[in-house]
Amino acid sequence: MDPARKYQVSLRGASVKEISREALLEKVSQERELRNYARRATAAAIFTQSVWRCYYVKKKVAIKLLGEWETVMNSQAVVLTATWISGSLLRPFLFFITCLSIQRQKISPRDIECMQSCFKILLESINSKDSRKNVCSLAVGTLEERRTWTYQAKKLISLCSFILSECDKSYPVDQRIVVLTSIALRLVVVLTDVKGWKCISDDTIQEVDMAVKDLVQFMGSCHSGLYISIRRYFEKLSVPSSYQVNSTVQKDDRFLITASAVTLAVRPFHMIDHIVVSPGPVDVHSAAEQYCLLLLTIPWLLQRLPAVFMPALKHKSIMSPCFQVLLILRDKIFKEMQEMDQLEKHLSPKEIPSVGWALANIMCLAAGSENDFVNSMDCASYVQVVITLAENLLTQFDRVEFMKNEYQDLQGNTETSAARIGAVSYGETSCGSSKMTYMDLLRPVCQRWHLVKLLEIAKTDASFHGTETLPKNDSKYIVKLDLLDIAYFYSYMLRIFSLFNPVVGSFPVLNLLSFTPGYLVDLWGQLENSIFPGNGHFSEDNNVSTSRSSGNKKDGISERKQKQKQINKDGSNKFFNALHKLTGKSQAGVNYTDNYDDPPTTVQLGEESSDFWDVQPLRRGPLGISKDMSCLLHLFCATYSHLLLVLDDIEFYEKQVPFTLEQQRRIASMLNTLVYNSLNQSIGHQNRPLMDSAIRCLHLIYERDCRHRFCPPVLWLSPAKESRLPVAVAARTHEVLSANTKSDDVSAVPSIGSVITTTPHVFPFEERVEMFREFIGMDKVSRKMAGEVTGPGSRSIEIVVRRGHIVEDGFRQLNSLGSRLKSPIHVSFVSECGLPEAGLDYGGLSKEFLTDISKSAFSPEYGLFSQTSTSEGLLVPNAAARYLENGIQMFEFLGRVVGKALYEGILLDYTFSHVFVQKLLGRYSFLDELSTLDPELYRNLMYAKHYEGDIKELCLDFTVTEESFGKHRVIELKPGGKDTSVTNENKMQYVHAMADYKLNRQILPFSNAFYRGLTDLIQPSWLKLFNASEFNQLLSGGNHDIDIDDLRNNTKYTGGYSEGSRTIKLFWEVIEGFEPKERCMLLKFVTSCSRAPLLGFKHLQPSFTIHKVACDSSLWAAIGGQDVERLPSASTCYNTLKLPTYKRSSTMRTKLLYAINSNAGFELS
C-alpha cells in the first residue's frame, strides 16, 4: 500500500477524493466553531432586542406617567397626605425621572420643573408637625410603609446626588439648575438630620434614629453616588465661567450648594455624636473610604472651597477615620486611585496622580497651621499616612521610564541642577490663574514648628487617640510615633521635593533638618547604636573584635515601631549655641594644624587596625541592611552633607559641633564602607537616593580631611584592603566599562569602574599614580591601533620657537591642535640673535620647551597667574587676566601644556592653589577653603560671622570691589546688592556669597578654559583619581627630599664614568651629606624640577644621567693639592649632569653647591 495513503480515509467511498485524518479533524473543528458563533450571535441579537424593547416600553410608560403626573400636580383638589405623597407623588416621579433623566445622564427643562415641584412638596411635608401630612412619619409606620419609605428615600438621595453632579454642566446660561440643586441638597440635608424631622415623639425617637442611620450609611456608601457627585461639583468650582453670575440670590444659592455638599460629605462622620440612643455605632469606614478616594484626591481641594468650611474638614472626627482607613485599606484604596487615574482620559503621564493630591490635601488639612496641627489631629497617624502616600507616589513615578531618567540626572548633580523640561511640569502645576504651585501645598513640612512638634510627641511616646469608631481593645490600631517614623517622613519628603521641584530641590527641607537643634544628633545616635554596638571609644583599651561582633543583618533596627532613646539635650544645646548664637570674634585667627596628629582622646591606629574601620554591618552595602536602616542612613547623609556646606573649621575642629572628631571618624568609616561595598555590587534604582546622599556626604568629609586631617590614612583604605584588584586589571576594567556609559553616571558603571571614579581614595596614592600611567599607556596603544601613531617620528609636530618669545610662539603654533598635541613635538629653538640653535630633538628639547614655557607663563610677572598671600605662594588665576589679549584662550593653551606634561610624565616645578585645582577636578569650593586663597579676607568673614553685636555697625553691603589697571569695579554679590545692607539676619548669606564669589565665580572663566585644554589630553575620569594636593604631587613630584638609593639605582653613566669610578663614589658620598633642601636644589639643577617622580626615579624621562667631563690638571697642581677648577653643568632637557673628574670630596661639594645656587645650568659648560 502506498505510504502516502496509509493514514487517509474516505468520507463517501472510493469515488470521492480522500483526505487525511488531521484535515478531517480540523474541518470538523472549524464547522463546530462556526455553529457556536452563530448561536452566540443569535443570542446576542435576541438580548439586544429585548433590552431595546424594554427601554422603549419603559420610556413610553415614563412619558405617559409624566403627563399624568403633571395633570395631577396641576389639579387643585389634591390633599397632601403622607400616604398620597408616597404612593401618588413619589412612586411615579421616581420612575419617570429615573428613565428620562438619570439613565440618559441629562436633565431637560421639563424635568427641572417637575423636580422643583416635587422637592418643594417634600420639604413642606417634612416641615409639617402633623404626622398625617409628614411623609417621614412613614418611617415609623407599618413594616410595608417603612420598606417603601426607605426605598424612596434612598432613591431621592441618589437623584439629588445626580443633580449635584450635573450642576453647571449642561446649563451654562440657565440658572434654574442652580436653584434646583440648592433645593435638592436642602432636601437631603433635612432628610438625613433627625433635628429636621418635625413629627418625632418620645415613643418613636429610637426608630427614627435607626431610619436616619440607615440613610446616612447608604449615603456614605458607593451605591448612593454622593461622593462622586460632590467630587464633580468641587472640580467645577475652579472653572472661571462657573462663577460668572450676576445676582446676589444666585451667589447665595451657589454658596448654599457648597455648604450643603460639605455638610453631606462629613455627615456620616458626625453621626456618632448626633445619634446618642442608637443601639450600635455607625460604620464610617465606607464613608471614610469614599471620602479619601473621591474628595481628598481633588486637585486644589482646599483652594476651591471658602475658608469658612476649613474647620469642618480639619476636625478630628473627620481626619482620624480617614487616617484609619488609609492605613488599614491602603492597598485597596491605592488600586482604586490608579484605576481612577487611568479612567481620566485627559491625564498626562507628567501630571500629579491622585495619590499625590491626597498627600498634598492631607498635609494642608492636618498641618496648615501650628494650632490646627496640635488641636485637631493625631500626629502619629498623620505621619504614618503621609509615609504611606509618599511611598506610593514615589513608586508610581519610578514605574515611568522617562521619569527614572529625569530623577537620576537630577540627583547626580543636585547643587547645579538646571530646569528640567520633563520634571519641572510637576512642580509648576498651578491653581487656576494663580501662581501657586503644587509644592506650595507641601510647605508646612518645611516649618520649624512642624518638626519640633513631631519630636516632642516622639519623646512622650504618644499613642493613637482616634479609636472611637474601632474596638478599643484591639491593640493593632494603637499607633506610636518614634524617631524612625519621623525619619521615614522626611526621607520621602526629600525625594518628593527633589522630584517635583528640580530648580530649588530639597533645599527647604534640608535647611529645616540641618538647623533644628538636636535632630541630627538624635539621628546619628540611633545609627551609632545600631552600627557600632557598645558605643566604645577608639582607644588602646578597645577590643576591636568586640566592636564588630554585633553587626547583623537587621542592623539593630528590626521594627518600624522600635522605641526611640532619650534625646541628648546637652548635644542639642551645644549644636544650637554653635550654629545660632555664634560667638568668639578672635577665633577666626586660629592656626590649624594636623588635627589627627594630636587628637584629644584618640590614639593613632596602624595598618594592623584597618579592619577596625571596615564596618561589618555594611560590608554588603544596601543589600545587607534593613529598610529602616536604609531610611535612617539616607536622611542622615542628606542632612549632614547639607550642614557640612556651611559648617566652618572653627565649628568642626575647635568646637566640634555637632559631632566630636571621634564621631566624625566613625561617620567617615561608616560611609566609606557603605559606598565602597555598594559600588562593588550592582545597586538597584531603589537604592539610588541613599547612594547619592552617601556619596555626596563621603566626598565632603574626605575633602575636609584632605585639607586638615582628622582621620588616619588607613581608614580610607580599609574597605578595599582585601579585595583590591591589581592596578593593571582595575585600569583595564574601568576603561572597558566606561567606554559605553556616561562618565558622570555612577550607577551605570558597576563594580570596580565606579569605585575608581567615585571612591578612588580606597586605593593607595602610589597605586593610583600607577593606574594613571596605565590609562595613558592604554591611550597610546589605542592611538597606535587607530593609525595615529605608525612609527618613530611619524605624525610629529614640528615647531620653531624663539627663546625670547617662547609663550607667544608656542601659543600661536600649538593652541589649535587640541588632542593632536598628544603626538610628539619636535622643537627647533632660535637664539636671541635670531640664529637657529644646533642640535636634534630626541625628546630632550621638547621637555625643555614645556619647562621653559611653563616657567614663563606661570610667572606672576606675565599676568596670567598670581601667587596667594599664604606662605606657600601657590598659583591662582589673576582676575585681571580677562583684560589681557587672548587671556581666556591663553588659559586654555596652558591647560594643554600641563596636560602634555602629565601625558608624557614630565614634572613641572609649580604648585597650584587648592581652590583652582578643585575646579579642574569638577568640585565646588566652600567657605573654609578661602583660608588657603586669601587668609585676610577669611579672617574678616569669620569676624563678621561670629560678630556678637549689630553687624549694621560695620556698614557692609552685598558688593565686592575689584581693582584692575588702576580702576575700581563694584560687583554685586546678588541682584540689588548695592542697596542691600548686611544685617544679623542675612549675614550668613553675605559670608557665603562673598566666599562663593572669591572661590568660584571669580576664577570660573579661567578654570573652565584651563579645564577645556587639560581634558583635550587627559580624560576627566583620570583626573578624578586624585584630590587637589595629590594632583599637585602628580604634576610636580613627590616629597621635598629624594631617595638617594633609588636615584643611585636608576642613574646612567656616560662619557667614561661607571658605577665604580672614583669621582662617582665621591659624588654619592657628597650627596648623602647634603641637606634635604640642597639635594632638591641639585635635582632641580639637573632636571629643572626639585621633586622626585612619584613612583621613583625609574619613571624619570629621560633617565638621570651623569656624564664625564675630563679635566686634566698639571702634575705640579696635583702635588700642590690643587683640584679641578671647572664647575659642573647640566643639560636639563636630557636630565644630564656634566660632572668634572674631581679628586677630593671637599672640592666636589664646594663646586656642586656653587653651581646649584648660581641658578644656571647649561651655560656653565
What does the pLDDT look like over 1081-1095, one tens digit per residue?
A: 888 888 888 888 888
Please state which of the ranges 385-389, 428-432, 806-810, 1160-1164 shows the lowest mean pLDDT: 1160-1164
Q: Work out the percent of the chain whose per-residue pLDDT is above 90.
A: 43
pLDDT for the residue numbered 349: 54
Of the ranges 568-577, 657-666, 730-739, 741-750, which is most confident?
657-666
pLDDT for the residue numbered 580: 38
**Higher pLDDT, residue 736 or 583:** 736
Give strand pairing partners of 970.
961
pLDDT for the residue numbered 251: 58
**Bond before 1128 cis per omega within 30 degrees:** no
**Higher pLDDT, residue 561 or 861:** 861
pLDDT for the residue numbered 680: 82
Phi, psi of 428 (to 5 degrees): -100, 10
Instruction: Examine the pLDDT at 870 and tell me if it is beyond 50.
Output: yes
Instruction: Examine the pLDDT at 851 and tell me if it is beyond 50.
Output: yes
Distance between CA atoms of 7 and 582, rounded to whole angstroms? 101
pLDDT for the residue numbered 373: 73
Distance between CA atoms of 28 and 728, rounded to whole angstroms? 71
Contact status, residue 876 vs residue 866, Cβ threshold 8 Å: yes
Q: Of 920, 505, 924, give the one whose Cα is nearest residue 699.
A: 924
The residue whose grid cell reads 601657590 is: 874
Q: Which residue type, as a one-letter code, is found at position 849?
A: F
**Higher pLDDT, residue 1016 or 472:** 1016
**Higher pLDDT, residue 152 or 798:** 152
Contact status, residue 284 vs residue 430, Cβ threshold 8 Å: no
The mean per-residue pLDDT over the stretch 1001-1019 comes to: 94
The residue whose grid cell reads 583604605 is: 717
Q: What confidence tier does 891 reach under pLDDT thresholds 50, 70, 90? A: very high
pLDDT for the residue numbered 636: 97
Contacts 24+ apart (CB under 8 A), 389-392: 389/326, 389/355, 389/358, 389/359, 389/362, 390/359, 390/489, 390/492, 390/493, 390/495, 390/496, 391/492, 392/330, 392/334, 392/355
* Segment 691-706, tens digit of pLDDT: 999 999 999 999 999 9
* Segment 966-1000, tens digit of pLDDT: 778 899 999 999 999 999 999 989 998 999 999 99
Distance between CA atoms of 1088 and 197, rounded to whole angstroms? 106
Q: Of 51, 148, 169, give the one whose Cα is nearest residue 101.
A: 169
- Residues contacting 992, CB < 8 A, separation 6+: 646, 927
Instruction: Examine the pLDDT at 478 and tell me if it is beyond 60.
Output: no
pLDDT for the residue numbered 171: 52
**Higher pLDDT, residue 472 or 855:** 855
* Segment 1047-1081, tens digit of pLDDT: 999 999 999 899 999 899 999 999 998 998 888 88
The mean per-residue pLDDT over the stretch 54-76 comes to: 88
Which grid coordinates belong to 1052? 646612567
The residue whose grid cell reads 594632583 is: 1031
The mean per-residue pLDDT over the stretch 891-908 comes to: 92
**Higher pLDDT, residue 252 or 266:** 266
Instruction: Examine the pLDDT at 934 and tell me if it is beyond 60.
Output: yes
Point out the residues that are catalytic: 1133
Contacts 24+ apart (CB under 8 A), 953-960: 954/982, 955/981, 956/981, 956/982, 956/990, 957/981, 957/982, 958/982, 958/990, 958/993, 960/994, 960/997, 960/998
pLDDT for the residue numbered 578: 34
The mean per-residue pLDDT over the stretch 941-956 comes to: 90
Contacts 24+ apart (CB under 8 A), 193-202: 193/267, 193/274, 194/274, 194/275, 196/126, 197/126, 197/134, 197/136, 198/126, 198/127, 198/128, 198/129, 198/134, 199/128, 199/129, 199/130, 199/131, 199/134, 199/136, 199/137
Distance between CA atoms of 390 and 491, rounded to whole angstroms? 10
The mean per-residue pLDDT over the stretch 806-831 comes to: 88
The mean pLDDT of the chain is: 80
Which grid coordinates belong to 404? 527614572
Helix (H, G, I), strand (E, B) or coil at 1129: strand
Q: Where are the alpha helices (DSSP H) in 997-1092?
A: 1004-1014, 1020-1023, 1028-1036, 1044-1049, 1062-1073, 1076-1087
Q: What confidence tier does 631 reach under pLDDT thresholds 50, 70, 90? A: very high
Instruction: Examine the pLDDT at 867 and tell me if it is beyond 50.
Output: yes
Q: What confidence tier does 602 reach under pLDDT thresholds 50, 70, 90? A: very low
pLDDT for the residue numbered 600: 37
Which grid coordinates belong to 91? 412612586
Phi, psi of 1126 (to 5 degrees): -70, 140
Contact status, residue 1032 vs residue 911, Cβ threshold 8 Å: yes
Distance between CA atoms of 548 and 387, rounded to whole angstroms? 33
Instruction: Examine the pLDDT at 16 and tell me if it is beyond 80.
Output: no
Buried-exposed string 1109-1124: b where 16+ CB fall within 10 A, e elsewhere? beeebeeeeeeeeebb
Phi, psi of 967 (to 5 degrees): -110, 145
Q: What confidence tier does 541 reach under pLDDT thresholds 50, 70, 90? A: very low
Buried-exposed string 421-457: b where 16+ CB fall within 10 A, e elsewhere? ebbbebbebebeeeeebbbbbbebbbbeebbbbbbeb
The mean per-residue pLDDT over the stretch 793-815 comes to: 84
CA 234 to chain centre: 35
pLDDT for the residue numbered 610: 58
Helix (H, G, I), strand (E, B) or coil at 459: helix
Buried-exposed string 944-983: b where 16+ CB fall within 10 A, e elsewhere? bbbbeeebeeeebbbbbeeeeeeeeeeebbeeebeebebe
pLDDT for the residue numbered 234: 93
Q: Work out the percent of the chain whose per-residue pLDDT is above 70.
A: 79
Q: Of 311, 302, 314, 176, give the one whose Cα is nearest residue 234.
A: 302
Contact status, residue 802 vs residue 809, Cβ threshold 8 Å: yes
Helix (H, G, I), strand (E, B) or coil at 1053: strand
Distance between CA atoms of 409 and 1163, rounded to whole angstroms? 58
- HEC string of 804-834 equals HHHHHHHHHHHHHHHHHHHCCEEEEEECCCC
The mean per-residue pLDDT over the stretch 750-777 comes to: 84
Buried-exposed string 264-279: b where 16+ CB fall within 10 A, e elsewhere? bbbbbbbbbebbeeee
pLDDT for the residue numbered 848: 81
**Bond before 92 cis per omega within 30 degrees:** no
**Higher pLDDT, residue 467 or 532:** 532
Q: Of 439, 286, 306, 294, give the one whose Cα is nearest residue 363.
A: 439
For the full predicted model, state whether its pTM sits above 0.85: no
Q: What confidence tier does 663 reach under pLDDT thresholds 50, 70, 90? A: very high
